[in-house]
Chain A
Amino acid sequence: EIVLTQSPDFQSVTPKEKVTITCRASQSIGSSLHWYQQKPDQSPKLLIKYASQSISGVPSRFSGSGSGTDFTLTINSLEAEDAATYYCHQSSSLPQTFGQGTKVEIK
Chain B
Amino acid sequence: EVQLVESGGGLVKPGGSLRLSCAASGFTFSSYSMNWVRQAPGKGLEWVSSISSSSSYIYYADSVKGRFTISRDNAKNSLYLQMNSLRAEDTAVYYCARGEQPLDYWGQGTLVTVSS
* A91 CB contacts on chain B under 8 angstroms: 100-102
A36-B104 Cα distance, complex, nearest whole Å: 9
Complex contact A87–B61 (CB within 8 A) = no
Complex contact B47–A98 (CB within 8 A) = yes
A45: contacting residue among B44, B59, B106, CB under 8 A: B106
* B88 CB contacts on chain A under 8 angstroms: none
Interface size counted on chain A using CB atoms at 8 A: 23
Complex contact B102–A98 (CB within 8 A) = no
Complex contact A98–B108 (CB within 8 A) = no
Complex contact A101–B103 (CB within 8 A) = no
* A45 CB contacts on chain B under 8 angstroms: 106
Q: Does more than half of chain A's interface fall in helix, strand or loop, or is it mixed?
A: loop
Q: Most A CB atoms within 10 A — which of B61, B101, B102, B109?
A: B102
* A34 CB contacts on chain B under 8 angstroms: 101-103
Interface size counted on chain B using CB atoms at 8 A: 21
B95 within 8 A of A: yes
Which residues from 33 to 76 on chain A have a C-beta closer than 8 Å to any C-beta of chain B? 34, 36, 38, 42-46, 49-50, 55
Q: Most A CB atoms within 10 A — which of B45, B100, B104, B106?
A: B45
A95/B62 contact (C-beta < 8 A), A44-B106, A46-B102 known: yes
17 interchain pairs, CB-CB under 8 A? A34-B101, A38-B45, A44-B95, A46-B103, A46-B104, A46-B105, A49-B101, A49-B102, A49-B104, A50-B102, A95-B47, A95-B59, A96-B50, A98-B45, A98-B47, A101-B44, A101-B45
